[in-house]
Structure 1
């Protein structure tokens, strides 16, 4: 889902992801759904703050092998600091939410264009 970067980016990203919950087996309104949406919010806010060259944020959600993965890509090639002692408050919150579901956070250069993608993995609750 391409979300134009601007004042409506966060609500649009959240709405797009929430709209896919039925497809990926997430119960709307559950604590897990809330955690996923908060992660989406924080990652899109980071695009707004730290990726000024990005006209859009590419937001994705996928499920496989018992995991739900949220991805947010932007045009900024600089990878975020992901060590606990160097993370900003937003990424720290993202890491804590992922850890609550035995997941993690990673970042890697984009494969098919300039920029990066931040990936947050959650183990799906039973």
Structure 2
């Protein structure tokens, strides 16, 4: 039976990769976009994203668009949580707010900003989804990217 670092290969195949997650609570207001971008960019080196790279720029643009959507469509939310999660070769940007209405993620239903977010995600073999929040009455919008090698 093949072994890898003291474990059977089958055991290694089923071990979850190391997950790094960072979440920042950002107050909804005029400084929200800047604060969210700074909170995400602060962890780029730690999660293996080269600051100033095209990929970093795409991630920050997605953060800007998602936060702007909260400002436009969930302004009654006092806070939003902006998350950055990296596992193996995938990076996920998440923005959670207190508005329970999920965005329409069909091509016909998306506005210009969400359409651009979907295109940026697709450029990195990713996608966009939205789901009800688990721990409050709001929602979470998730943008997945494959991290470029």
Q: TM-score, normalised by structure 1?
A: 0.99
Larger Cα-atom Rg: 2
1:95 maps to 118
1:40 maps to 63
Say how many residue pairs are matched.
126
Q: TM-score, normalised by structure 2?
A: 0.84
2:49 maps to 26
Cα displacement string for residues 73-116 of structure 1 (whole angstroms, at most 9, x for unaligned residues): 00000000000111001100000000000000000000011100
1:3 maps to 26
1:121 maps to 144
Instruction: State the Cα distance separating 1:65 from its structure 2 match.
Output: 3.2
> Where in structure 1 are there 5+ consecutive unaligned residues?
none
CA distance in 1, matches of 2:108, 2:132: 22
CA distance in 1, matches of 2:88, 2:131: 21
Runs of 4 or more consecutive aligned structure 1 residues displaced over 3 Å after TM superposition: none
> Where in structure 2 are there 5+ consecutive unaligned residues?
1-23
- Range with bigger deviation, 57-66 or 90-99: 57-66
CA distance in 2, matches of 1:29, 1:19: 12
